[in-house]
Amino acid sequence: MSYEVNEKFLAKLVSVPRATGYEFPAQLEMKSYLENDVDKITSDNLGNLCAIINPDSPFKIMLAGHIDQIGFQISYIDDEGYLWFLPLGGFDTSTLPGKRVKVFSEKGEFLGVIGKKAIHLMKPEERKKAPEMEKLFIDIGCKDKEEALIKVDVGDFAVFDYGYARLGDNGLAVAAGFDDAIGAFIVAEIMRELAKDKSFYAGVYGVSTVQEEIGLRGATVAARNLKPDVGIAFDVGFAADAPDLEKKAIGDTKMGGGPIISIGPNLNPIVVKRLFATAEKLGIPCQKHAANRGTGTDANAIQLAGAATGLVSIPNRYMHTASELIHLEDVKNIIKLVVEFIKEIKEKDSFLPL
Ligand SMILES: [Zn+2]
Protein backbone atom coordinates (compact mmCIF):
# COMPACT_ATOMS: atom_id res chain seq x y z
CA MET A 1 0.00 0.00 0.00
CA SER A 2 1.30 3.43 -0.83
CA TYR A 3 0.30 6.23 1.47
CA GLU A 4 1.27 9.86 1.87
CA VAL A 5 0.31 11.88 4.95
CA ASN A 6 -2.55 14.27 4.14
CA GLU A 7 -0.89 17.31 5.68
CA LYS A 8 -3.67 19.58 4.50
CA PHE A 9 -6.28 17.80 6.60
CA LEU A 10 -3.85 17.35 9.50
CA ALA A 11 -3.16 21.09 9.56
CA LYS A 12 -6.90 21.77 9.51
CA LEU A 13 -7.62 19.29 12.28
CA VAL A 14 -5.03 20.72 14.68
CA SER A 15 -6.39 24.22 14.13
CA VAL A 16 -10.01 23.38 14.95
CA PRO A 17 -10.72 24.00 18.66
CA ARG A 18 -11.05 20.78 20.64
CA ALA A 19 -10.41 21.48 24.31
CA THR A 20 -11.39 18.63 26.59
CA GLY A 21 -15.18 18.61 26.88
CA TYR A 22 -15.52 21.09 24.00
CA GLU A 23 -14.56 18.83 21.09
CA PHE A 24 -17.71 19.22 19.00
CA PRO A 25 -16.33 21.47 16.19
CA ALA A 26 -13.47 19.03 15.58
CA GLN A 27 -15.84 16.05 15.60
CA LEU A 28 -17.97 17.67 12.90
CA GLU A 29 -14.81 18.22 10.85
CA MET A 30 -13.92 14.57 11.31
CA LYS A 31 -17.42 13.46 10.37
CA SER A 32 -17.39 15.28 7.06
CA TYR A 33 -13.89 13.88 6.33
CA LEU A 34 -15.08 10.29 6.78
CA GLU A 35 -18.78 10.03 6.04
CA ASN A 36 -18.51 9.36 2.31
CA ASP A 37 -16.04 6.49 2.73
CA VAL A 38 -17.24 4.45 5.70
CA ASP A 39 -20.44 2.39 6.00
CA LYS A 40 -21.89 4.18 8.98
CA ILE A 41 -21.13 6.95 11.49
CA THR A 42 -22.56 7.10 14.99
CA SER A 43 -22.08 9.30 18.05
CA ASP A 44 -23.12 9.26 21.69
CA ASN A 45 -24.12 11.60 24.50
CA LEU A 46 -20.50 12.51 25.33
CA GLY A 47 -19.63 13.43 21.75
CA ASN A 48 -17.53 10.42 20.76
CA LEU A 49 -17.62 9.93 16.99
CA CYS A 50 -17.53 6.38 15.65
CA ALA A 51 -16.93 5.55 11.97
CA ILE A 52 -17.76 1.98 11.03
CA ILE A 53 -16.65 -0.37 8.25
CA ASN A 54 -18.20 -3.86 7.89
CA PRO A 55 -20.82 -3.38 10.64
CA ASP A 56 -22.21 -6.88 10.01
CA SER A 57 -19.00 -8.70 10.92
CA PRO A 58 -19.23 -10.67 14.20
CA PHE A 59 -15.65 -9.59 15.03
CA LYS A 60 -15.23 -6.02 16.25
CA ILE A 61 -12.00 -4.08 16.38
CA MET A 62 -12.07 -0.63 17.97
CA LEU A 63 -9.48 2.00 17.07
CA ALA A 64 -9.25 5.00 19.39
CA GLY A 65 -7.52 8.35 19.05
CA HIS A 66 -8.56 11.07 21.45
CA ILE A 67 -9.51 14.25 19.65
CA ASP A 68 -9.38 16.43 22.78
CA GLN A 69 -6.46 18.65 23.63
CA ILE A 70 -5.52 20.33 26.90
CA GLY A 71 -7.09 23.77 27.30
CA PHE A 72 -8.43 26.42 29.62
CA GLN A 73 -11.93 26.96 30.97
CA ILE A 74 -12.91 30.54 31.80
CA SER A 75 -14.09 30.62 35.41
CA TYR A 76 -14.18 34.33 36.31
CA ILE A 77 -13.98 37.72 34.60
CA ASP A 78 -12.69 40.56 36.78
CA ASP A 79 -13.56 44.27 36.76
CA GLU A 80 -10.55 45.12 34.55
CA GLY A 81 -11.69 42.59 31.92
CA TYR A 82 -9.09 39.90 32.61
CA LEU A 83 -10.19 36.26 32.20
CA TRP A 84 -9.27 33.81 34.97
CA PHE A 85 -9.26 30.14 34.13
CA LEU A 86 -9.19 26.53 35.27
CA PRO A 87 -6.98 23.99 33.46
CA LEU A 88 -8.63 21.37 31.22
CA GLY A 89 -5.93 18.72 31.56
CA GLY A 90 -2.37 18.75 32.88
CA PHE A 91 -0.13 21.78 32.32
CA ASP A 92 3.38 22.65 33.36
CA THR A 93 2.67 26.22 34.48
CA SER A 94 6.24 27.29 33.66
CA THR A 95 5.35 26.90 29.96
CA LEU A 96 2.30 29.17 30.07
CA PRO A 97 3.21 32.85 30.57
CA GLY A 98 3.35 34.88 27.38
CA LYS A 99 1.66 32.22 25.26
CA ARG A 100 -0.98 33.16 22.73
CA VAL A 101 -4.36 31.52 23.12
CA LYS A 102 -7.63 31.64 21.27
CA VAL A 103 -10.78 32.03 23.31
CA PHE A 104 -13.95 30.53 21.85
CA SER A 105 -17.47 31.62 22.72
CA GLU A 106 -20.88 31.87 21.10
CA LYS A 107 -19.86 35.34 19.95
CA GLY A 108 -16.83 34.13 18.04
CA GLU A 109 -13.14 33.58 18.61
CA PHE A 110 -10.79 36.05 20.25
CA LEU A 111 -7.02 36.23 20.45
CA GLY A 112 -5.68 36.32 23.99
CA VAL A 113 -2.34 36.14 25.80
CA ILE A 114 -1.56 34.49 29.10
CA GLY A 115 -0.31 37.27 31.34
CA LYS A 116 2.00 37.29 34.33
CA LYS A 117 4.04 39.73 36.39
CA ALA A 118 7.33 40.65 34.65
CA ILE A 119 10.57 39.17 35.98
CA HIS A 120 11.78 42.64 37.02
CA LEU A 121 8.95 42.89 39.49
CA MET A 122 9.38 39.44 41.03
CA LYS A 123 11.05 38.83 44.38
CA PRO A 124 14.20 36.60 44.23
CA GLU A 125 12.37 33.61 45.76
CA GLU A 126 9.48 33.98 43.29
CA ARG A 127 11.92 33.71 40.37
CA LYS A 128 13.00 30.19 41.35
CA LYS A 129 9.51 28.70 41.26
CA ALA A 130 7.07 27.80 38.50
CA PRO A 131 4.11 30.20 38.59
CA GLU A 132 0.99 29.15 40.40
CA MET A 133 -1.91 28.34 38.07
CA GLU A 134 -4.25 30.59 40.07
CA LYS A 135 -2.03 33.62 39.41
CA LEU A 136 -2.14 33.30 35.62
CA PHE A 137 -4.86 34.99 33.57
CA ILE A 138 -5.85 35.66 29.97
CA ASP A 139 -5.78 39.18 28.55
CA ILE A 140 -8.01 39.65 25.49
CA GLY A 141 -7.44 43.37 25.26
CA CYS A 142 -10.70 44.57 26.79
CA LYS A 143 -10.89 47.80 28.76
CA ASP A 144 -13.20 46.44 31.45
CA LYS A 145 -15.53 43.63 32.51
CA GLU A 146 -18.45 45.07 30.59
CA GLU A 147 -16.56 44.94 27.30
CA ALA A 148 -15.20 41.46 28.05
CA LEU A 149 -18.71 40.15 28.72
CA ILE A 150 -19.80 41.21 25.24
CA LYS A 151 -17.28 38.72 23.87
CA VAL A 152 -16.91 35.87 26.36
CA ASP A 153 -18.54 34.46 29.47
CA VAL A 154 -17.86 32.05 32.30
CA GLY A 155 -17.83 28.48 30.93
CA ASP A 156 -16.22 29.41 27.61
CA PHE A 157 -12.86 27.86 26.75
CA ALA A 158 -9.47 28.63 25.23
CA VAL A 159 -6.62 26.66 23.65
CA PHE A 160 -3.07 27.50 22.58
CA ASP A 161 -3.02 29.40 19.30
CA TYR A 162 -0.11 27.70 17.54
CA GLY A 163 -0.99 26.02 14.25
CA TYR A 164 0.68 23.42 12.05
CA ALA A 165 4.16 23.96 10.62
CA ARG A 166 7.06 21.87 9.32
CA LEU A 167 10.19 22.07 11.46
CA GLY A 168 13.50 21.72 9.60
CA ASP A 169 13.97 19.42 6.61
CA ASN A 170 13.87 15.98 8.22
CA GLY A 171 10.16 15.19 8.36
CA LEU A 172 9.34 16.88 11.66
CA ALA A 173 6.13 18.84 12.17
CA VAL A 174 5.09 21.07 15.07
CA ALA A 175 1.73 22.22 16.45
CA ALA A 176 -0.09 22.73 19.70
CA GLY A 177 -2.30 19.78 20.53
CA PHE A 178 -0.79 16.99 18.42
CA ASP A 179 -1.72 15.21 21.66
CA ASP A 180 -3.88 13.78 20.43
CA ALA A 181 -5.09 15.22 17.14
CA ILE A 182 -2.42 13.03 15.60
CA GLY A 183 -3.99 9.89 17.11
CA ALA A 184 -7.46 10.85 15.88
CA PHE A 185 -5.95 11.68 12.47
CA ILE A 186 -4.25 8.27 12.28
CA VAL A 187 -7.55 6.53 13.06
CA ALA A 188 -9.27 8.54 10.31
CA GLU A 189 -6.57 7.72 7.77
CA ILE A 190 -6.69 4.01 8.63
CA MET A 191 -10.46 4.09 8.07
CA ARG A 192 -10.04 5.83 4.70
CA GLU A 193 -7.42 3.32 3.56
CA LEU A 194 -9.54 0.35 4.68
CA ALA A 195 -12.58 1.79 2.92
CA LYS A 196 -10.84 1.41 -0.45
CA ASP A 197 -11.34 -2.36 -0.35
CA LYS A 198 -13.61 -3.70 2.35
CA SER A 199 -13.12 -7.38 1.52
CA PHE A 200 -11.59 -8.29 4.90
CA TYR A 201 -13.16 -10.12 7.83
CA ALA A 202 -13.12 -7.66 10.75
CA GLY A 203 -15.72 -5.02 11.52
CA VAL A 204 -13.77 -1.83 12.24
CA TYR A 205 -14.95 0.91 14.61
CA GLY A 206 -12.75 4.00 14.32
CA VAL A 207 -13.51 6.21 17.29
CA SER A 208 -12.49 9.80 17.73
CA THR A 209 -12.75 9.79 21.53
CA VAL A 210 -13.36 12.75 23.85
CA GLN A 211 -12.26 13.80 27.34
CA GLU A 212 -9.15 11.63 27.53
CA GLU A 213 -7.16 14.34 29.25
CA ILE A 214 -9.40 14.35 32.31
CA GLY A 215 -9.59 10.60 32.84
CA LEU A 216 -10.20 8.56 29.65
CA ARG A 217 -13.88 9.38 29.90
CA GLY A 218 -14.84 9.16 26.21
CA ALA A 219 -13.04 5.86 25.56
CA THR A 220 -14.55 4.36 28.71
CA VAL A 221 -18.07 4.96 27.42
CA ALA A 222 -17.29 4.09 23.79
CA ALA A 223 -15.65 0.76 24.70
CA ARG A 224 -18.43 -0.09 27.15
CA ASN A 225 -21.02 0.46 24.40
CA LEU A 226 -19.14 -1.27 21.59
CA LYS A 227 -17.77 -4.28 23.51
CA PRO A 228 -14.97 -4.82 20.97
CA ASP A 229 -13.00 -8.07 20.66
CA VAL A 230 -9.79 -6.15 19.99
CA GLY A 231 -9.01 -2.49 20.64
CA ILE A 232 -6.02 -0.37 19.71
CA ALA A 233 -5.34 3.09 21.14
CA PHE A 234 -3.17 5.65 19.37
CA ASP A 235 -1.56 8.34 21.45
CA VAL A 236 1.64 10.32 21.66
CA GLY A 237 4.55 8.67 23.45
CA PHE A 238 7.83 10.03 24.76
CA ALA A 239 10.78 10.24 22.40
CA ALA A 240 13.95 10.07 24.47
CA ASP A 241 16.13 11.87 21.92
CA ALA A 242 15.95 15.34 23.47
CA PRO A 243 18.21 16.91 26.09
CA ASP A 244 17.75 16.12 29.78
CA LEU A 245 15.79 12.89 29.26
CA GLU A 246 16.73 9.65 30.98
CA LYS A 247 16.66 6.62 28.64
CA LYS A 248 16.99 4.35 31.66
CA ALA A 249 13.61 5.64 32.81
CA ILE A 250 11.65 6.08 29.57
CA GLY A 251 13.33 3.68 27.14
CA ASP A 252 15.40 4.17 24.01
CA THR A 253 12.87 5.85 21.74
CA LYS A 254 13.38 8.47 19.09
CA MET A 255 11.61 10.65 16.55
CA GLY A 256 11.44 8.88 13.20
CA GLY A 257 12.28 5.53 14.83
CA GLY A 258 8.85 4.09 13.97
CA PRO A 259 5.72 3.20 15.94
CA ILE A 260 6.24 2.71 19.68
CA ILE A 261 4.50 -0.54 20.63
CA SER A 262 3.78 -0.95 24.33
CA ILE A 263 4.28 -4.26 26.11
CA GLY A 264 2.92 -5.12 29.56
CA PRO A 265 -0.15 -5.93 31.68
CA ASN A 266 -2.38 -3.36 29.95
CA LEU A 267 -1.69 -4.98 26.58
CA ASN A 268 -2.80 -8.32 25.16
CA PRO A 269 0.25 -10.48 24.29
CA ILE A 270 -1.25 -11.78 21.05
CA VAL A 271 -2.08 -8.27 19.82
CA VAL A 272 1.47 -7.17 20.69
CA LYS A 273 3.05 -10.18 18.97
CA ARG A 274 0.97 -9.70 15.83
CA LEU A 275 1.83 -5.99 15.66
CA PHE A 276 5.55 -6.77 15.75
CA ALA A 277 5.16 -9.62 13.23
CA THR A 278 3.22 -7.41 10.82
CA ALA A 279 5.84 -4.65 11.15
CA GLU A 280 8.57 -7.14 10.34
CA LYS A 281 6.67 -8.44 7.31
CA LEU A 282 6.24 -4.89 5.98
CA GLY A 283 9.79 -3.83 6.86
CA ILE A 284 8.55 -1.09 9.22
CA PRO A 285 10.92 -0.10 12.04
CA CYS A 286 9.38 -0.39 15.52
CA GLN A 287 10.28 0.70 19.03
CA LYS A 288 9.48 -1.17 22.24
CA HIS A 289 8.02 0.43 25.34
CA ALA A 290 7.69 -1.40 28.64
CA ALA A 291 4.46 -0.38 30.42
CA ASN A 292 4.38 -1.96 33.87
CA ARG A 293 0.84 -0.90 34.80
CA GLY A 294 -2.31 0.60 33.29
CA THR A 295 -1.15 3.15 30.73
CA GLY A 296 -2.53 6.67 31.07
CA THR A 297 -4.17 6.28 27.68
CA ASP A 298 -7.43 5.12 26.12
CA ALA A 299 -5.83 1.63 26.03
CA ASN A 300 -6.53 1.43 29.74
CA ALA A 301 -10.26 2.07 29.36
CA ILE A 302 -10.51 -0.29 26.37
CA GLN A 303 -8.85 -3.16 28.22
CA LEU A 304 -11.14 -2.71 31.22
CA ALA A 305 -14.14 -3.08 28.88
CA GLY A 306 -12.78 -6.58 28.17
CA ALA A 307 -11.02 -6.17 24.83
CA ALA A 308 -7.67 -7.61 23.79
CA THR A 309 -5.84 -4.31 23.73
CA GLY A 310 -2.87 -2.73 21.97
CA LEU A 311 -1.23 0.68 22.32
CA VAL A 312 0.63 2.21 19.41
CA SER A 313 2.30 5.51 20.23
CA ILE A 314 3.59 8.27 18.01
CA PRO A 315 7.04 9.46 19.18
CA ASN A 316 6.62 12.97 20.53
CA ARG A 317 8.78 15.76 21.94
CA TYR A 318 7.63 18.54 24.31
CA MET A 319 4.31 16.91 25.25
CA HIS A 320 1.67 19.23 26.79
CA THR A 321 3.46 22.40 25.71
CA ALA A 322 2.41 24.83 22.97
CA SER A 323 4.90 23.23 20.56
CA GLU A 324 4.55 19.47 20.33
CA LEU A 325 6.63 17.66 17.70
CA ILE A 326 5.90 14.57 15.65
CA HIS A 327 7.68 12.89 12.72
CA LEU A 328 5.62 12.40 9.55
CA GLU A 329 7.42 9.15 8.71
CA ASP A 330 6.23 7.66 12.03
CA VAL A 331 2.66 8.66 11.21
CA LYS A 332 2.89 7.00 7.82
CA ASN A 333 4.38 3.81 9.25
CA ILE A 334 1.72 3.50 11.95
CA ILE A 335 -1.06 3.80 9.36
CA LYS A 336 0.52 1.16 7.10
CA LEU A 337 1.14 -1.17 10.03
CA VAL A 338 -2.36 -1.09 11.44
CA VAL A 339 -4.13 -1.31 8.07
CA GLU A 340 -2.24 -4.55 7.42
CA PHE A 341 -2.79 -5.80 11.01
CA ILE A 342 -6.54 -5.44 10.51
CA LYS A 343 -6.59 -7.03 7.05
CA GLU A 344 -4.72 -10.06 8.37
CA ILE A 345 -7.39 -10.92 10.97
CA LYS A 346 -9.20 -14.11 9.92
CA GLU A 347 -12.38 -15.75 11.20
CA LYS A 348 -10.52 -18.51 13.04
CA ASP A 349 -8.16 -16.15 14.90
CA SER A 350 -8.26 -16.00 18.67
CA PHE A 351 -6.80 -13.34 20.93
CA LEU A 352 -7.34 -15.31 24.12
CA PRO A 353 -3.99 -15.53 25.88
CA LEU A 354 -4.78 -19.01 27.29
ZN1 LIG B 1 -2.94 11.99 24.75
Task: Give distance in angstroms: CA of 217 to centre of ligand 1.
Answer: 12
Domain ranges of the chain: 7-69+177-343, 71-160
Mean of pLDDT values over 245-266: 96
Answer positive or negative: Cα dihedral of 121, 125, 129, 133: negative
Reported confidence tier of residue 187, pLDDT bands at 50, 70, 90: very high
Residue 118: the pLDDT is 87
What average pLDDT does the chain have? 97
pLDDT one-digit tens code per residue, 16-29:
999 999 999 999 99
Active site residue 132: no
Q: Which fold has domain 7-69+177-343?
A: Aminopeptidase (3.40.630)
pTM (global) more than 0.85: yes
Considering the candidates 29, 212, 324, 329, report the single residue annotated as catalytic: 212
Looking only at the bridges linking them, the beta strands covering 172-175 and 230-238 are unpaired
Q: What is the CATH number of domain 71-160?
A: 2.40.30.40
**Exposed/middle/buried for residue 31 (C-beta within 10 Å: 0-12, 13-18, 19+):** middle
Among 228, 216, 255, which Cα is nearest to 239's? 255
Task: Give distance in angstroms: CA of 354 to centre of ligand 1.
Answer: 31
Task: Give distance in angstroms: CA of 352 to centre of ligand 1.
Answer: 28
CB neighbour burial string for 123-155, b if at least 16 within 10 angstroms, e if fewer = eeeeeeeebeeeebbbbbebeeeeebeebbeee
Looking only at the bridges linking them, the beta strands covering 100-105 and 108-115 are antiparallel
Query: Which residues are found with C-beta within 5 Å of the ion, ligand 1?
Result: 179-180, 235
Task: Give distance in angstroms: CA of 80 to centre of ligand 1.
Answer: 35
Task: Give distance in angstroms: CA of 99 to centre of ligand 1.
Answer: 21
Residue 167's Cα: distance from chain center in Å?
20
